[in-house]
Chain A
Amino acid sequence: MIGSIAWRNVWRSKSRSLIMIVAIAIGLFAGVFTMAFMQGAVDARIESATKSELGHLQVHAPRFLENNNIECSISDAREMLSKIETLHGVVAASRRLIAEPFVMAAHGTGGGKILGVDVENEKRVTDIWQHLVDGTYLEKNTRMPPVVIGQKMAEKLQLRVGSKIDVQMVDIDGNLSSKGYRVSGIYKTTNTGYDETHLFVSYNDLRTQLGVKENTAHEIAVLLEDGTNAPAIKPEIQNIAGNNDVQTWKEISPEMSLLTDSMDQYMYVFILIILLALCFGIINTMLMAVLERVKEIGMLMAVGMNKRKVFVMIILESIMLTFSGGFLGILLGTLVTRFFETTPIDVSMFSEGLEKYGFGSQIYTSLQPNTLFTIGFLVIVTGILSAIYPARKALKLNPAEATRSE
Chain B
Amino acid sequence: MKIIEISKLQKTYDSDSVPVHAVNGVDLSFEEGEFAAIVGPSGSGKTTLLNIIGGLDDATEGDVTINNVKITELSSRKLTDFRMHNIGFVFQAYNLIPVLTAKENVEFIMHLQGEKKEARDTRATELLKAVGLGEMVNRRPSKLSGGQQQRVAVARALASKPKFVLADEPTANLDSKSTENLLDIMERLNKEEKITFIFSTHDQRVVNKAHRIITLEDGKIISDVRKN
Measured CB to CB, the residues of A under 8 A from B are 1, 5, 8-9, 11-12, 295-296, 298-307, 309, 398-400, 403-404
Contact = CB atoms under 8 A, between A and B. Distances in A.
B81 A9 contact: no
Interface string B37-58: 0000000000100010010110
Interface of B: 47, 51, 54, 56-57, 76-77, 80-81, 83-85, 89, 91-93, 95, 97-100, 104, 107-109, 111-113, 156, 160, 168
Nearest to B95: A299
Contacts of B80: 301, 304-307
Contacts of B54: 302
B74 to A, nearest CB: 13
A341 to B, nearest CB: 42
Please provide the 4 A-B residue pairs with the shortest distance between their CB atoms, ordered closest to farther. A304-B84, A8-B99, A299-B95, A400-B56
Contacts of B108: 1, 5, 303
A263 B47 CA distance: 63
Given A5-B100, A306-B77, A400-B56, A296 B112 contact: no
B189 to A, nearest CB: 18
Contacts, number: 75
A304 B87 CA distance: 9
- Secondary structure at the B interface, as helix, strand, loop or mixed, is helix
Contacts of A298: 95
Nearest to A11: B99
Contacts of A5: 97, 99-100, 108
A303 B89 contact: yes
A12 B113 CA distance: 26
Given A303-B109, A306-B80, A12 B98 contact: yes
Given A302-B89, A404-B91, 15 more contacts: A1-B111, A5-B100, A8-B99, A8-B100, A9-B99, A12-B99, A295-B95, A296-B98, A302-B54, A303-B83, A303-B160, A305-B80, A306-B81, A400-B51, A404-B92
A404 B84 contact: no
Nearest to A1: B111
Contact of A403 (B95, B104, B107): B95
